[in-house]
Amino acid sequence: GAVVSQHPSWVICKSGTSVKIECRSLDFQATTMFWYRQFPKQSLMLMATSNEGSKATYEQGVEKDKFLINHASLTLSTLTVTSAHPEDSSFYICSALGRGVTDTQYFGPGTRLTVL
Amino acid sequence: RKEVEQDPGPFNVPEGATVAFNCTYSNSASQSFFWYRQDCRKEPKLLMSVYSSGNEDGRFTAQLNRASQYISLLIRDSKLSDSATYLCVFSNDYKLSFGAGTTVTVRA
């Protein structure tokens, strides 16, 4: 099946720093990528939908100035958590939807962010 | 009311047992239905899609009841490797809505 990678797989940072997470589709072109966040024992929550070459669409309650998304190519989307705080500690997962495929999304392995 | 509701479990079953659980959804416009499996600290992986007529994939059987707005998953002849959290997922125009998951633990 399609492969999606994320980097880094985990990161620990100090409060106030910014963290960039990359999501890549390795063997297909992804016109649309999604960014999710999952807190312990909770469901994945969609944060934003990222379309190549256009601005991301954020879900209600997600601050676009805090979670910067860039989808500059058909194989790469990045999520930057700006001025991270402990409450931003979570499991961030991206998924990718390819051209001409069904609505099955392929998930990256996730990035575990811990903000001290 | 939550968009997607699942019994969190856990369901603790012996090897070889049958285990089944449901998931309800509130958005009647949901177009596609899936069961995903998530292992601890890993990303979700697609287990199977759920079709109106019901479908099987080996030991797994999924059903969809649009009238009552729920889907179900049945696992027969449980294996130790089936221990995981099972997420029900609905999609509408490519946007996925996830349940919080039902935890299944299969013991030897």
Give how far A107 is from chain B: nearest CA, Å. 7
Quote the minimal CA–CA distance from B66 to chain A in Å.
Answer: 19
Decide if pLDDT at B29 tops 90.
Answer: no
Q: Which residue of A has its CA nearest to B4?
A: A43
B/e letters for A61-74, b = 16+ CB within 10 Å, e = fewer, are ebeeeebbbebeeb
Phi, psi of B80 (to 5 degrees): -55, -35
Backbone angles phi, psi at A11, to 5 degrees: -150, 140
Picking from B42, B91, B100, the nearest residue to A43 by CB comes out as: B100
Per-residue pLDDT of chain A (116 residues; tens, 9 = 90+): 668 999 999 999 999 999 999 999 998 888 899 999 999 888 899 999 998 888 899 999 999 999 999 988 889 999 999 999 999 999 999 999 866 555 578 899 999 999 99
> In the prediction, which pLDDT does A100 show?
58
Read off the pLDDT band of B65 (50, 70, 90): very high
Q: Sort B1 into a burial class: Cβ within 10 Å, 0-12 / 13-18 / 19+.
A: exposed
β-pair partners for A93: A36
pLDDT > 60? residue B71: yes
- Whole-number Å distance between alpha carbons of A38 and A46: 9
From the CA of A108, how many Å to the nearest CA of chain B?
7
Nearest to B99 among A41, A43, A105 (CB): A43
Res A101: pLDDT: 53
φ/ψ of B82, rounded to 5, equals -80, -10
Nearest residue of A to residue B34 by CA position?
A104
